[in-house]
Amino acid sequence: MLTFSLRRLLSIPPLVLVVSFLTFLLLKQAPGDFYSQMEADPTRSTTEVLRQKENAGLLVRLDRNQLVAIGEFSDDGHRWSFADEGGERPVIRKDGTPVRAKEASRSLLKFQIDGIQYQCDDEAVVYRKVGAIEGFFSWLFNALTLDFGTSYKFNRPVFGIIAERLLNTLTLSLAALVIAYGLGVPLGIFAAVKPNSRLDHSAGIIAFLGLSIPTVFFALLAMLFASYTGWFPIGDMRSLDYDQYGFFGKIANRIHHLFLPALVLGTSAMAGYMRQARGNMIEALGQDYVRTARAKGVSEQGVLFKHAFRNAVNPLVTLFGYSLASLLSGSLLVEIVMNWPGLGRLIFEAISAKDEPLVLASVLISTLLLVFGNLAADILLAVVDPRVRLS
């Protein structure tokens, strides 16, 4: 099992690397970026915007030697060149005659030489656009030191934002899991003990409804319920007057806010657990050891809980790892509809604002969550069930 875990662990870094590379390329492929609107805004100075882009790692400022090394090029039907003539800055020549920086920058706003894009600010300082591959590697080296860049939108390090939001998403998912297990497993077991009873049939209907109800719709219904009755807060994680509460008041306030989103997320997950628990229990009840136990005269309760239940419930322990994918996707919608400041709402906000570092980091962290969840589930399955051999 150790070798299995090790091998699986070793397969994670390449996967994460490829995911981040492809995501990076996808994001670079997108039309326009966070700064496009600023650049198009005539009231903003180009110098300022380009300097921001340089800080964000999108542009590299060319120094004197690099500028001169560009040599002669043509743009819009004119011949341009930067020549080092000993002055403070290189002399810009247009069709052979020197021109002033202001004039040059007006016509050289964006130009392209041999597929490399350049941008020029008001004072004719030239920047080179960082290519996708180059950008990825500089991002990667920073990422190895846990520096995922600075969010354009929030103007804060991405790492801090993600850590904060991740905690919220995990809280929500965990609460949803507790609800899903707490309701799903007992219902499934009871349904299996009395198959085709009224309980079984209503449990089956609940499972179908839970599986089928669209998350967006369910979350909206919950919001409608909250706004009509006023029993639950509408969105967010805590009240505005949160700081005034004592320790227990704070906890109660948090749970009050958490309850409805967790219930919505948990109910759809519950259906799966219930069906699984019912199926496992029915299978366990049909096994030879159950018959043997009954033949020995073990009480019905003993048969159910000591023999069948344990065997039925073991595989369920690991289900949470596999349900992480649907839980993460589900929580994305619940968070957005119910205004829960988690990872899902973060990526939504980041995509709306074209905040590339934030999008990239969110995708990456959600992938990591999923991959580790699956790994944990595989290992747990082997731990609880000796019949499963990992190889």
Partner 1 sequence: MNISKDKSNDSGMPPPRGPWAILWLRLRKNKLAMTGGLTLIVLYLMCSFGGFIAPYGMNDTNKYTVKYGPMLFGGYTIVKTGDILAEDENFNEILLPSYEKRWNWFDGGLHFHDSDGNFTLRPHVHPLREYESWDEYGEMEYILAEDQTRSIPVRFFVQAEEEHEVFSLCGFFKVFGHTHLMGLSPADIPQEPNLHAGLFLLGTDVLGRDLWTRILYGGQVSLSVGLIGIFISISIGLFIGGLAGYFGGIWDFLLMRLVELLLAIPGLYLILTLRYALPNDLTSRQTYIMIVAILAIVGWASTGRMIRGMVLSLRESEYALAARSLGGSSLRVILRHLLPNTASIVIVTATLYVPYYILGEVALSYLGFGITEPDSSWGLLLKDCQVTEVMKYNPWLIIPGFFIFLAVLAYNFLGDGLRDAADPRAFLGASRNHEE
Q: Which is nearer to partner 1, 38 or 213 (CB)?
A: 213
The CB-of-371 to partner 1 minimum distance in angstroms stands at 6
The token pair at 358 is: 């934030």
Cα(68)–Cα(91) distance, rounded to whole angstroms? 9
Q: Taking every pair of C-alpha atoms in the chain, what is the biggest distance, in angstroms?
A: 107
How far is Cα of residue 63 from the mean position of the Cα atoms in its chain?
38
Q: Which of 371, 377, 380, 381 binds partner 1 (CB under 8 A)?
A: 371
The token pair at 341 is: 């400041």
Q: Does the footprint of partner 1 cover residue 65 (CB under 8 A)?
A: no
Q: Which of 4, 83, 367, 384 binds partner 1 (CB under 8 A)?
A: 367
Q: Give which of 201, 198, 166, 147 is closest to 331, Cα–Cα.
A: 166
- Tracing tokens 């699956």 back to the chain, one arrives at 374
The window from 108-116, 251-259, 306-314, 322-330 that contacts partner 1 (CB under 8 A) reads: 322-330
Give the contact letters, 250-289, x = binds to partner 1 (CB under 8 A), - = no: ----------------------x--xx-xx--x-------
Q: Give which of 257, 53, 277, 44 is closest to 149, Cα–Cα.
A: 53
Q: What's at 315, amino acid-wise? A: P
The CB-of-161 to partner 1 minimum distance in angstroms stands at 16
The token pair at 128 is: 């080179």
The window from 127-135, 238-246, 288-296, 325-333 that contacts partner 1 (CB under 8 A) reads: 325-333
Q: Give which of 362, 356, 386 is closest to 35, Cα–Cα.
A: 356
How far is Cα of residue 49 from the mean position of the Cα atoms in its chain?
29
Q: Does the footprint of partner 1 cover residue 376 (CB under 8 A)?
A: no
Q: Which of 133, 140, 163, 209 binds partner 1 (CB under 8 A)?
A: 209
Q: Does the footprint of partner 1 cover residue 27 (CB under 8 A)?
A: yes
Q: Does the footprint of partner 1 cover residue 245 (CB under 8 A)?
A: no
At how many degrees (to 10) do helices 324-337 and 215-229 cross? 40
Q: Does the footprint of partner 1 cover residue 200 (CB under 8 A)?
A: yes
- Tracing tokens 């905690």 back to the chain, one arrives at 167
The window from 71-79, 114-122, 170-178, 217-225 that contacts partner 1 (CB under 8 A) reads: 217-225
Q: Which of 366, 378, 380, 381 binds partner 1 (CB under 8 A)?
A: 366
Q: Which of 30, 116, 252, 383 binds partner 1 (CB under 8 A)?
A: 30
Q: Does the footprint of partner 1 cover residue 204 (CB under 8 A)?
A: yes
Tabulate helix, strand, coil % of the chain (nearest 5): 65, 10, 25
Cα(75)–Cα(53) distance, rounded to whole angstroms? 23
The CB-of-66 to partner 1 minimum distance in angstroms stands at 31
Q: Are 226 and 232 in contact (CB under 8 A)?
A: yes
The CB-of-225 to partner 1 minimum distance in angstroms stands at 10
Q: Which is nearer to partner 1, 31 or 297 (CB)?
A: 31
DSSP 8-state code for residue 156: S
Question: In the chain, where does DSSP find H-type helix?
Answer: 2-29, 36-40, 46-55, 64-70, 101-107, 132-144, 158-193, 198-212, 215-229, 247-285, 288-296, 300-302, 309-317, 319-322, 324-337, 343-353, 356-384
The CB-of-261 to partner 1 minimum distance in angstroms stands at 14
Q: Does the footprint of partner 1 cover residue 314 (CB under 8 A)?
A: no
Burial zone of 87 (CB within 10 Å; 0-12 exposed, 13-18 middle, 19+ buried): exposed
Q: Does the footprint of partner 1 cover residue 362 (CB under 8 A)?
A: yes
Q: Which is nearer to partner 1, 38 or 132 (CB)?
A: 132
The token pair at 27 is: 């994001």
Beta-strand pair 78-83/91-94: antiparallel
DSSP tally for the chain: helices H, then strands E? 17, 8
The window from 95-103, 143-151, 199-207, 289-297 that contacts partner 1 (CB under 8 A) reads: 199-207
The CB-of-65 to partner 1 minimum distance in angstroms stands at 36
For partner 1, the binding residues (CB under 8 A) are 15, 18-19, 22-23, 26-27, 29-31, 195-196, 200-201, 203-205, 207-209, 211-217, 220-221, 223-224, 227-228, 234-235, 272, 275-276, 278-279, 282, 324-326, 328-329, 332-333, 336-337, 344, 347-348, 351-352, 354, 359, 362-363, 366-367, 369-371
